[in-house]
Amino acid sequence: MHETDLAVIGSGPAGMAAAAEAAGLGLRVALLDDQPRPGGQAYRDVDRVGPMRGAVLGPDFVDGRRLTAALDDPRISHLGGAGVWAIEPGFTICYSRENAARLLRARRVLLATGALERPMPVPGWTLPGVMTAGGGQILLKQAGLVPRRSVLVGTGPLLYLFAVQMVRAGINPAALIETQTRGDLARALRHMGGLFGGWGYMTEGWRLLRVLQRAGVPRIVGAQEIVIEGEDRAEAVRFRRGGAQHRLPCDTVFLHHGVVPNPQAARSLGLDHRWAPRQQCFVPVCDAWGEAAAAEGGVEGVFLAGDGAGIGGARAAELQGRLAALRIAEGLGRIGSDERDGRAKPLRRQLRRELAVRPFLDAAYPPFAEALRPDDTTMVCRCEEVTAGEIRRAAAQGCPGPNRLKGFLRAGMGPCQGRVCGLAVTQILAEATGQSPDETGYFHIRPPIKPLTLGALAALAETGEAVGTDKTAPGQGDAA
């Protein structure tokens, strides 16, 4: 079996930075990602993007090449197209690559699995033509596709960034339908302190809004009663603003109201999670190095970095990745604690600056209330087609939490394992039962956390453990 010092799951900014830092300190690193190429969500496919697409996506995007270039180190083996389906204590990493299951042994594991879009169940959100804004951006980054006639619905800076990228590509979105209110902004201004720390982000935000204004992209703020209309696909977005009803025809609707930590890998290891009221999501419990608190009967030596450990954005993810690598290298005897702390000091200073703007952003762009409390007929679990009303009825019949819900309904039992609806299910149940989200809990996540085809398993069974030897030459980053 292939053995390594550190297995990093996820090659976004957190995973890439951690791998480079750890390799620089002498560790052998395996960097696994189910995407064929490094970059993660923020820098998806950054190495394949030509000058034209690079100009559309902007300098912050192409800056990701700094991170992919640093993977060119003989101690790093980048395993692209490797979906990790189980992590066993000790650690054995089970993954599928080229339709064969493989195993790899590592002394430490770092989860850098990033974020998911916050579920946004509004009427019509399952229709073809409705996507997440992040998904729409991936089409642009990875395939150079721009929607012909689109509407962006929801809240947050990612919507502005995507809209500006469309403007630069020469096809303006028809409108931004935003759900935050002027009251939210007023409340957010109480976090002025953070604004000074995050000044760069604020000026960037203003710059994006100026571009939209000059391009004549209409912005509707404080939209309510949002409904996506269409028979077999999205045809229009209907909403109310103040006393007036509006209807905007379109082919594509992009939804977004924030991102939340991707819980699958951390939950599958039984790591402790706590509800974060300000961010309206669960976050895994870990220390300032990203080391997960060993839960009762839980696993030790698991680290987390990046948005998977709590939303901080791409630059914070990078810094957290490096901090985790320092602690891991120290734990494995590569550096002393003085050196670790010395190297960590400037990183922590930068991280504080990066995170300063978050309380402001969380308050200025809160999740869309109607999507947190969908009406009874709105579909919540897309896989098994379960509505909010069915979940509330189960609660009224005594269902206390998501796992018991599986005895009532099939919510969360479809192929996505609750990735899309999990948080919404917890919040709807919590409200219906009057419990806190912590008391309500979350779906138990059990391996395989990535689909495992029979063919892939057969390949593992045929050759036993030996199949785990991945022939990828070290450093064969698809990064080059």
Partner 1 sequence: MKTVSTFLSLEAPGPRVRVWLDGAPLHLPHGANLAAALLAAGVNTFRGTACSGAPRAPYCMMGACFDCMIEVEGETRQACLLEVAEDMRLTRPGAPGDA
CB 13 within 8 A of CB 43: yes
CB-nearer residue toward ligand FAD: 155 or 440: 155
DSSP letters, 410-468, are: -TT-STTTTTTTHHHHHHHHHHHHT--HHHH------S-SS---HHHHHHHHHHGGGGG
Binding mask 220-259 for ligand FAD (x = CB under 6 A): ---------------------------------------x
DSSP state of 286: B
CB-nearer residue toward ligand FAD: 5 or 307: 307
Which of the choices partner 1, ligand FAD, none does residue 431 contact, using the CB cut-off of 5 to 8 A by kind?
none
Out of 24, 58, 135, 474, the residue judged to bind partner 1 by CB under 8 A: 135
Q: How far is the CB of 406 from partner 1 (least distance, A)?
A: 16
Out of 251, 272, 339, 431, the residue judged to bind partner 1 by CB under 8 A: 251
Task: By CB under 8 A, tell whether 457 contacts partner 1.
Answer: no
Task: By CB under 6 A, tell whether 429 contacts ligand FAD.
Answer: no
CB-nearer residue toward ligand FAD: 11 or 387: 11
Binding mask 106-125 for partner 1 (x = CB under 8 A): ----------xx--------
Task: By CB under 8 A, tell whether 384 contacts partner 1.
Answer: yes
Q: How far is the CB of 375 from partner 1 (least distance, A)?
A: 19
Rounded to whole angstroms, the Cα distance separating 284 from 271 reads: 7
Q: How far is the CB of 112 from partner 1 (least distance, A)?
A: 14
Q: Which helix (H) or strand (E) holds 267?
A: helix 264-268
Q: How far is the CB of 424 from partner 1 (least distance, A)?
A: 13
CB 246 within 8 A of CB 222: no
Task: By CB under 8 A, tell whether 377 contacts partner 1.
Answer: no
Longest dimension (CA), the chain: 68
* Residue (of 440, 257, 325, 445) closest to 19 by Cα position: 325
CB-nearer residue toward partner 1: 254 or 365: 254
Out of 18, 29, 94, 169, the residue judged to bind partner 1 by CB under 8 A: 169
Residues in contact with 329: Cβ distance below 8 Å, sequence separation at least 6, in sequence order: 21, 22, 25, 26, 27, 335, 340
Which of the choices partner 1, ligand FAD, none does residue 451 contact, using the CB cut-off of 5 to 8 A by kind?
partner 1
DSSP state of 296: T
Task: By CB under 8 A, tell whether 131 contacts partner 1.
Answer: yes
CB 48 within 8 A of CB 37: yes
CA distances from 348 to 146, 195, 321, 325, 342 (A): 38, 18, 12, 13, 10
CB 299 within 8 A of CB 326: no
Question: In terms of C-beta density within 10 A (0-12 exposed, 13-18 middle, 19 or more buried), how is residue 245 classed?
Answer: exposed
Cis ω before 360 (30° cut-off from 0): no
Which of the choices partner 1, ligand FAD, none does residue 13 contact, using the CB cut-off of 5 to 8 A by kind?
ligand FAD
Q: Which helix (H) or strand (E) holds 249?
A: strand 244-249
How far is Cα of residue 384 from the mean position of the Cα atoms in its chain? 22
Rounded to whole angstroms, the Cα distance separating 480 from 464 reads: 33
Pairing label, strands 115-117, 130-132: unpaired
How far is Cα of residue 61 from the mean position of the Cα atoms in its chain? 17
- Residues 103-142 touching ligand FAD, rule: CB under 6 A, are 112-117, 134-135, 137-138
Binding mask 57-86 for partner 1 (x = CB under 8 A): --------------------------x---
Residues near ligand FAD (CB under 6 A):
9-15, 32-35, 40-42, 83-84, 112-117, 134-135, 137-138, 158, 259, 262, 265, 306-308, 313-314, 317, 449-450
Q: Would you tell me which residues interact with partner 1 (CB under 8 A)?
A: 34-36, 41, 50, 52-53, 56, 83, 116-117, 126-132, 134-136, 138-140, 142-149, 169, 171, 232-233, 251-252, 262, 382-385, 414-416, 419-420, 450-451, 453-455
